[in-house]
Structure 1
Amino acid sequence: MKLRWQLFELEDQPWFPHVVRQGMMDVLRFMIMWLGIYKPIVPLLRDALAQTGQTHLVDLCSGAGGGIQQIWQQLETQTGQRTTITLTDKFPNLEAYQYLASQSGGALQFETEPVDATAVPARLTGFRTVFSAFHHFPPAAAQAILADAVRQNQGIGVFEGAGKRWHELLLVWLVFPWLILLITPFIRPFRWSRLIFTYVVPFIPVGTVWDGTVSLLRMYTPGHLQTMVNALNAPHYTWHIGRARHWSGTGVLYLIGYPSKLQP
């Protein structure tokens, strides 16, 4: 799947009901953790942190937190070091962030105010990550996210929970609806609204399948990502771009960049 279609996702629309958007993000977070989608990229992220001397991540476009709790657990296990993460978003999901903060004993922190991924406040220093969100941005904005990291001399990792392969569409269409019906009662924090909009009025399953389909079509290929990197004019940065294989047969698209030599 080499082409990219700039279609629309429901959760991006200002008119889309917040309660349904929140439910969809909760489903995504649970599935990412349950399936261990991002486990294959943890060694890559661990090595990048070692190269930059960082033990703190600034997670951009955090949504409902995605698999960030699992990433944190895996990093601490693999590095043997204390790792902390600050969750940020242009529309912070504070209830989800508070839950993750309590579950992690405070290792996962969060910003209560909106944070624009294309212009991150200078006070938020640390290795930047973007999980399951880079495809939301059109090319100019996506390029601006990378450029802002370079301008502020911060490392950045962009990760998408799929490999942009045609067979992944079949998983979204044929497996996701049943999976959502199965897992919804086990998602925490518990919300009655999530049950209502899954089993009574199935806005969450329908919206998740639509947005999952569009997400795959909107994702940037490794070739697209390489073109963005080439345009940054950042010779002091080291870049790694590719696909990491997941046990399910899907892939995880990734772009990792960091200063080869930390600049003052």
Structure 2
Amino acid sequence: MHLFEIDDQPWFPPALRTLFQAALTVTWTLPLPIIQSHPPAKIVAQVLLEELGSDISDYNFIDFCAGAGGPTPFIESYINAHLRKGNAKAVNFTLTDLHPNIEYWDSVAAASPHLFYESKPVDATKAPRHLVKPADGKKSMRLFNLAFHHFDGRLAARILQDTVESSDGFAIFELQDRSLRSFVAVTLLAVGTLLLAPYYALKWKSPLALVFSWLIPILPAALAWDGYVSSLRTREPEEVEALLRSCGADTSRWELRSGSAAHLWPVGYVNWIVCRKI
């Protein structure tokens, strides 16, 4: 079901969109002691390390629809820390979006020599060749973190076709699915936003986080609505594979694997798909 999401709408105020995206980033990266095994971003990093194995250093990773940065800076840090321990080559990550968030990306990229960003808008249906065919000769792995469900069937097929024709793999990570537990998790996210509003206000140095969480609760309401709609939009792995096989490109050498890992039992799960050319 492709109902509208508030964060996608051009009328959603930029100041609120910034808070919305920042709240999602916290959801990816903030550890919750005792009740949570690992934050979702760490699980994503572990999945990439396990699925790509010793081949991981052969890839550059390009985050499409990176928004405010999402989990990618955390994923980059965790993966490269792991590779350094094993004396393996570090890997590079690049943030891209149709609406680049240059100010924030510049700050996170400055903290790592392996994190970059594309300052120009990037359309995932026709990715710039300098991103997916880099001069260093490495393979390219496209990342869609909490993003692929935004694309309707036609757009998703075009993105997959461009991926198959110009890249070497893609990975989809979602924090929701079409299940009751997902709706419960979204509800907890909205409630958590209310409870953590003072933390957000201090962390982001933004009194608007309090205003639009407590006085005018637009932020938790928008997170709840978009979370419920995202759950209804999210494809099962077999549905993604059906799109892949019918996208119009030769996918005979492409292998898709998928799984699910709990980060907040019993309702919070990272649902993942890793697909690459073999």
TM, length-normalised to structure 2 = 0.83
Equivalent-residue separation in structure 1 for 2:263 and 2:93 (angstroms): 24
Q: Partners in 2 of 1:190 and 1:84 — Cα distance?
A: 30
Q: Distance in 1 between matches of 2:264 and 2:217?
A: 30
Aligned counterparts of 1:197 and 1:54: Cα–Cα separation in 2: 44
Task: List runs of 5+ in structure 2 lacking aligned partners.
Answer: 32-38, 133-139
Equivalent pairs, count: 254
Alignment of 1:93-112 (within 5 A): 93-102=101-110, 104-112=111-119
Instruction: Single out whichever of 104-113 and 133-142 deviates more from structure 2.
Output: 104-113
Deviation of 1:255 (Å): 1.9
Deviations 1:213-262 (A, max 9, x none): 111111111221121122243112222133233343332222212221xx
1:153 matched to 2:167: yes
| Partner in structure 1 of residue 255 of structure 2 | 238
1:206 is aligned, of 194, 197, 221, to 221
Corresponding residue SS for 2:156:
helix
Specify the code of the residue in structure 2 equivalent to 1:239.
L
Q: Which stretch shows the higher mean deviation, 116-125 or 51-60?
A: 51-60
The alignment status of 1:116 with 2:123, answered yes or no, reads yes
Cα offset, 1:52, TM superposition: 6.2
Q: Look up the match of 1:61.
A: 65
Residue number among 200, 208, 217 corresponding to 1:193 in the alignment:
208
SS of 1:246 mapped into structure 2: strand
- SS of the residue aligned with 2:61? strand
Q: Alpha-carbon deviation of 1:211? A: 0.6
Shift of 1:55: 4.4
Aligned AA (1:142): A
Q: Equivalent residue of 1:116, what SS?
A: coil
TM-score of the pair, normalised by structure 1 = 0.87
Higher relative contact order (CA 8 A, sep 6+): 1
- Structure 1 contact 52–259 (Cα < 8 Å) conserved: no
Indicate if the aligned counterparts of 1:55 and 1:82 stay in contact, CA closer than 8 A: no
Q: Percent identity?
A: 28
> Shift in Å at residue 183 of structure 1?
3.0
From the superposition, tell whether residues 111 and 192 of structure 1 become closer, same or farther in structure 2 (CA, over 3 Å): farther
Q: How far is the alpha carbon of 1:157 from its aligned partner? A: 0.8
Q: Does 1:255 align with 2:273?
A: yes
- The residue that corresponds to 2:21 in the other structure is 25
Task: Point out 4+ residue stretches in structure 1 off by more than 4 angstroms.
Answer: none
* Residues 49 and 110 of structure 1, relative CA distance in 2, 3 Å threshold: farther
CA RMSD of aligned residues (A): 2.1
Shifted more, 64-73 versus 238-247: the winner is 238-247
